[in-house]
Each structure stands twice: as structure tokens, then as C-alpha cells.
């Protein structure tokens, strides 16, 4: 008899949230932005400060997206980065958003996150997704498998993680290293098929609304229609990502958003052989007409919410109402770490009357380069 799928969770971390989704039902997705001329240590240090701010403000999770070969993005190794940030925060859950399961062998990912979960009990999440949008040279360097193998690899991953549960036998002759209480597994979905893959396995899902908003209604329906209760996830658990810029005024938020679009666009379109000095010069203002048009189009994209604290919090409420989301994952749209922290602080102030602060026990990053 085939064993039920989806028993990836060894602990209940998906408690229902109160109506209105307070700050504790919001999380953060970061990609370790790194501008030309900025050292790797400085970029990591800024992201650590953003994670610490999110921790102090009471956000639930801080995840790191896995991207390779993208100029201005430093989050190619979410397991390593989660370990670094977990050591420098006190409460917030750290994880991947998500590890590319079609790029890495499931056993490798299972062992990485099993070790993290052993080191930081009840603070590690494992979000997984498919390899998507890689340039051919980067895809070739990484290797990996076709998108169609994702469901099979997801089952393998969950099987390895179940090894750590009491009374479980290993998968075949393979035994998971440092097996213990496994981290919860989430599926990151940017289309209805991926949402259905999570649903039939009884796994929680985060929809990539910030980059695939057009597919969100169909993905929500696919998840709800196909969900099968399995393991501790006895009810559907749906998260939604959204890009955000919040400031003291509408005008300031739009200016910050336009700056983000300008830098991101120029980094993406610059010559692959451009030097850091050439890139720094290329990034200088002002905004071109084409960039302004792109920013205006993105402002109309439902995957982005830009404006004052009131505007953003209202937009988040509308997103919850339209998707029946249990959790919202914020993607702060800024390269500067101070700005990302300010965005999270502004939104938190609109979601709760009390900003959580805790005594700081975790050490700061040592690197100063």
C-alpha cells in the first residue's frame, strides 16, 4: 500500500492567524541585493541588519530566494545564508524561498536543512521551487533536471526528511545525515500546476504573486480544489508574496520605487562584460522615459503595492481578502538595506500598535570589509 504523501512536517508551525493578519502573520523574502562596487561582506551585513529589524518588529519568517547568475543578487546559497542569519537573530524563522529542487539533488537539500534544523530547532523552514529563468550558460554550469521532474524530486525530498521521525526506516539504503525533527516543507508556486502539486501532497504553498500576479487567481483555485489533508497540514495553508515599497508619503514611496526600477533595469540590460566602475556610472540618474514607463506599468501590477503606510496596509488587506491568504510574504523593493528595513518598519507600524522589541543576544556580523 502506497504511503500517504506530504509527511514532511515534524512540528506544527502553521497555527491559524487572527482575522486581519497582524504583523506576526507577515514574513519577508530577501535576495541579498549587492550594488556594483559594494563588497560581498557589506551586502551580507546589510541583509543581516534587515533580518534583525524584521525579527525585532515581530515578522514571522525571513526567507532567502535562490538565484544564480543575476547581477545585483547575492542569494545563490540560501542554506548557507540562513545559517549566517539564524546565528544573528533571536526568534524569526529562517529559510529558503526557495531552494531550486530541479537544480540540486533532493538528498543534498534534505541534509542541508536537516542540519540547520538540528542547529536551530523550530526556526528553520524549507521552501522549494523549480529552476526558472536561468540564462543557458548558468543553467549548464548548474546542471540539474527538467521542470517535469519536480513532483518526483519533491516526493524524494519529503521521503528523506521523514527518515528523521521516530520509528522511521531509511529510504532504501540511504540514510539522512543529522536526521532529527525535520523542517516544514513549503512549495513556492508561480503557476497553477505547481500549486496543485503542493495541494495533492497536503503541503503549504506560497504563491509568487510578486512576479506572476496574472496567474494568482487560478493558482489559488487549483490549490484549494486539489488539497488533500495529509500529516499535520490538515487544512490548506496559502501564503502570497507581494512586492512592497512603503514610506511616509505617496510621493516618497513612488520616488523610491522608481529608483529601484531604474537600478534593476540597468543592471539587467548592461553588457555582461561591463566593469564595476562602468556599472556604477551607468546607474547614475536621471530616470529615462523608458524606465519611467516601466515603473508606471509596474505600479499598476497587482503584484506590487507602493505608497504611504495607509495605502500599503490597505492594499495588503485587499490582497488577503481576494486570495483568502493565511500569510503574506513581503518583498521589500530596494537595494539599500536601510531602505528595506524602513519599509518593513513602516508596514509593521500600520499592522500593529505595538512594535515588538527584544534584548539583543545574537552577535553582529564580524566581517567589516
- CA distance linking residue 133 with residue 268, whole number of Å: 13
Q: Is the pLDDT of residue 314 over 80?
A: yes
Which pLDDT score is estimated for 342? 98
| Mean pLDDT of the 25-29 span | 97
Asked if residue 162 lies in contact with residue 7, where contact means CB atoms within 8 angstroms, the answer is yes
**51-65, 91-105, 164-178, 253-267: the lowest-pLDDT one:** 164-178
Number of C-beta neighbours around residue 230 at 10 A: 18
Q: Buried (b) or exposed (e) across 87-117, using 16+ Cβ within 10 A?
A: ebbeebbbbbbbbbbbbbbbbebbbbbbbbb
Which pLDDT score is estimated for 136? 75
Number of C-beta neighbours around residue 57 at 10 A: 23
- CA distance linking residue 265 with residue 283, whole number of Å: 9
Q: Per the omega criterion (within 30 degrees of 0), is the bond before 184 cis? A: no
Which pLDDT score is estimated for 16? 39
Asked if residue 189 lies in contact with residue 219, where contact means CB atoms within 8 angstroms, the answer is yes
Q: Is the pLDDT of residue 183 over 90?
A: yes
Q: Which of 97, 120, 106 is nearest to 239 (CA)?
A: 97
Q: Copy the grid coordinates of residue 28.
A: 519577508
Q: Copy the grid coordinates of residue 284.
A: 547614475
Q: Copy the grid coordinates of residue 248.
A: 511616509
Which pLDDT score is estimated for 139? 74
**98-102, 203-207, 325-329: the lowest-pLDDT one:** 98-102
Q: For 46-70, what is each residue's pLDDT tens digit?
A: 999 999 999 999 999 999 999 998 9
pLDDT band for 4, please (50, 70, 90 cuts).
very low
- CA distance linking residue 125 with residue 21, whole number of Å: 20
| Mean pLDDT of the 6-26 span | 60
**12-21, 289-298, 347-356: the lowest-pLDDT one:** 12-21
Which pLDDT score is estimated for 258? 95
Q: Which of 345, 259, 252 is nearest to 307 (CA)?
A: 252
Percent of the chain with pLDDT strictly greater than 70? 85
- CA distance linking residue 16 with residue 268, whole number of Å: 40
Look up the pTM and report it.
0.89
| Mean pLDDT of the 158-166 span | 73
Per DSSP, which regions of the chain are E strands? 26-30, 61-64, 93-100, 124-129, 185-189, 205-207, 238-247, 304-308, 327-332
Q: Is the pLDDT of residue 35 over 70?
A: yes
Q: Copy the grid coordinates of residue 56.
A: 525585532
Q: Is the pLDDT of residue 5 over 50?
A: no
Amino acid at each position: 500500500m502506497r504511503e500517504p504523501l506530504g509527511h514532511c512536517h515534524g512540528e506544527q508551525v502553521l497555527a491559524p492567524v487572527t482575522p486581519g493578519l497582524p504583523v506576526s502573520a507577515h514574513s519577508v523574502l530577501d535576495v541579498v541585493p549587492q550594488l556594483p562596487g559594494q563588497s560581498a561582506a557589506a551586502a551580507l551585513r546589510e541583509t543581516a541588519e534587515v533580518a534583525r529589524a524584521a525579527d525585532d518588529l515581530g515578522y514571522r519568517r525571513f526567507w532567502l530566494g535562490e538565484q544564480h547568475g543575476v547581477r545585483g543578487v547575492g542569494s545563490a546559497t540560501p542554506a548557507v545564508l540562513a545559517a549566517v542569519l539564524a546565528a544573528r537573530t533571536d526568534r524569526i524563522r529562517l529559510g529558503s524561498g526557495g531552494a531550486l529542487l530541479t537544480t540540486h539533488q533532493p538528498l543534498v537539500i534534505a541534509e542541508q536543512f536537516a542540519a540547520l534544523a538540528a542547529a536551530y530547532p523550530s526556526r528553520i523552514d524549507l521552501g522549494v521551487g523549480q529552476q526558472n529563468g536561468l540564462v543557458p550558460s548558468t543553467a549548464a554550469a548548474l546542471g540539474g533536471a527538467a521542470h517535469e521532474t519536480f513532483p518526483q524530486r519533491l516526493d524524494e525530498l519529503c521521503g528523506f526528511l521523514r527518515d528523521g521521525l521516530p520509528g522511521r526506516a531509511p529510504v532504501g539504503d540511504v540514510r539522512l545525515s543529522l536526521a532529527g525533527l525535520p523542517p516544514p516543507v513549503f512549495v513556492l508556486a508561480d503557476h497553477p500546476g505547481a500549486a496543485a502539486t503542493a495541494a495533492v501532497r497536503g503541503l503549504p504553498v506560497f504563491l509568487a504573486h510578486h512576479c506572476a500576479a496574472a496567474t494568482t487567481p487560478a493558482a489559488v483555485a487549483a490549490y484549494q480544489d486539489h488539497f488533500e489533508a495529509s500529516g499535520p497540514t490538515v487544512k490548506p495553508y496559502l501564503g502570497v508574496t507581494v512586492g512592497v515599497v512603503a514610506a511616509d508619503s505617496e510621493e516618497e514611496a513612488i520616488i523610491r520605487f522608481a529608483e529601484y526600477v531604474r537600478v534593476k533595469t540597468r543592471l539587467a540590460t548592461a553588457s555582461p562584460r561591463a566593469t564595476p566602475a562602468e556599472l556604477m556610472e551607468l546607474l547614475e540618474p536621471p530616470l529615462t522615459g523608458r524606465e519611467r514607463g516601466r515603473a508606471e506599468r509596474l505600479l499598476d501590477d497587482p503584484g506590487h503595492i507602493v505608497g504611504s503606510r495607509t495605502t500599503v496596509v490597505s492594499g495588503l488587506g485587499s490582497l488577503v481578502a481576494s486570495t483568502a491568504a493565511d500569510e503574506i510574504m513581503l518583498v521589500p523593493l530596494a537595494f539599500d538595506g536601510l531602505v528595506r528595513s524602513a519599509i518593513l518598519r513602516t508596514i509593521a507600524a500600520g499592522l500593529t500598535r505595538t512594535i515588538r522589541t527584544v534584548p539583543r543576544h545574537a552577535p553582529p556580523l564580524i566581517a567589516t570589509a
